[in-house]
Amino acid sequence: MKSILLSSQEARAIWLRAQRLDTREPFGKGPAATEAAIRHLGYVQIDTINVIERCHHHILFSRIPGYRRSDLAHEQSIAKSMFEYWTHALAYVPIGDFSFYLPRMLRERRNPERWGQSVDRKDYRRVIKMIRDNGPITIRDIEDDVLVEKEHLWASRKPSKGALQRAFWDGVLTTSARTGMLRTYELTDRHFGWEKMPKPATERQMVSYLLDTAIRAQGIISIDSVVHIRTNVRPQVKALIEARVRKKELVPVDFEGAGKSQHWVPPELLETDAPPPGLVHILSPFDPLIIQRKRLKLFFGYDHIFEAYVPKPKRQFGYFALPVLVGDEIVAAVDLKTDRQNRKLLVQQWTWVGKGGARKHKKLIEEELHRFEKFQLGP
């Protein structure tokens, strides 16, 4: 089938619609909006950096203007509509997708070392028994550890912490609550009220899941954007895309700058409208729109560099620069820091990028920064 030629603006519009960044309030309000956003996106990344609000809250705020941190806590601990696990990083994942992560959990059980850290089976059984007998715990609830030398940079000197992490990767334990970065661990089946665990997805089901999730959250897809870090399934994903094309469920498209990178779109999305030109989003560097850097540059002509680990003299945008989306263009990167003691949001550096200019966008961005500041300092 011959490719349909799209303009770069049309291609961006499809992706922004899929990411729900083409309107201010796509998911509504309250805890149900949080559940809907995570289910639609497929994951929301968790990160420890808190120069501003941590990225999982930031990503949700970008799509839910009235978002409150308690909404996420409710969905995790009360509604239990999500679980934490590893995608390309630690993330919140819809509970309906649990079976697609079970094969990974089962592989972890067969390979009882992670990040070079071995866990004594006695420590493992001890923490499981402690939780089974006494209920959910955090690492702070365990006081009888004897510190040991680390075997690896990412390991813990507390044997119990290693055992908790091991049981988490195995799927035996889940994070039933989170306070900042302090996790509460509970037996997975007890937390979700399962008499027995769901069945693990087959390889064929996993490939369909990856493609369907990408279509829902990306709109316009490539093989690279579907597989991301799961490069071992490229041939299977390619074959499934070709099957969908034959069924006319996907159509091949091309757009300016795409080069040899083939893309596909569900035909019903070809007429997607561009976002309002005055709509502003200050995005996390871990936002799903930003995280695949090559794709971001291809669609937006913007090469985001995460400079928190770059020596200060070599930084271009700043320690924790946030891309600023206005309409369908990334026009600036703003390095922000929350001064919690004085209750202010500090602009460390403001860099114009792309075709954006100060006169055209500055006032709109400043208005959004005020809204962002209220979120940073709010409940």
For 196-218, the three-class secondary structure string (H helix, E strand, C coil) is CCCCCCCHHHHHHHHHHHHHHHH
- pLDDT score of 355: 74
Question: Which residues of the chain does CATH 1.10.10 include?
Answer: 98-192
Return the CATH number of 98-192, one of 3.30.70, 1.10.10, 3.40.50, 3.90.660.
Answer: 1.10.10
- pLDDT score of 5: 95
- Structure tokens belonging to residue 41: 């996106």
C-alpha to C-alpha distance for 270 and 213, rounded to whole angstroms: 18
pLDDT average per 10 residues of sequence, the chain (379 residues): 93 98 95 97 95 97 96 98 97 98 93 69 91 94 61 57 91 96 96 96 97 98 95 96 98 92 96 94 98 96 93 95 96 96 96 77 95 93
pTM of the entire structure? 0.93
- pLDDT score of 154: 44
C-alpha to C-alpha distance for 211 and 90, rounded to whole angstroms: 21
Classify 83 in phi/psi space as left (phi over 0), alpha (psi -120 to 50) or beta.
beta
In 310-356, the DSSP E strands lie at: 321-326, 329-339, 344-352
Contact between 127 and 72 under an 8 Å Cβ cutoff? The reply is no
- pLDDT score of 153: 42
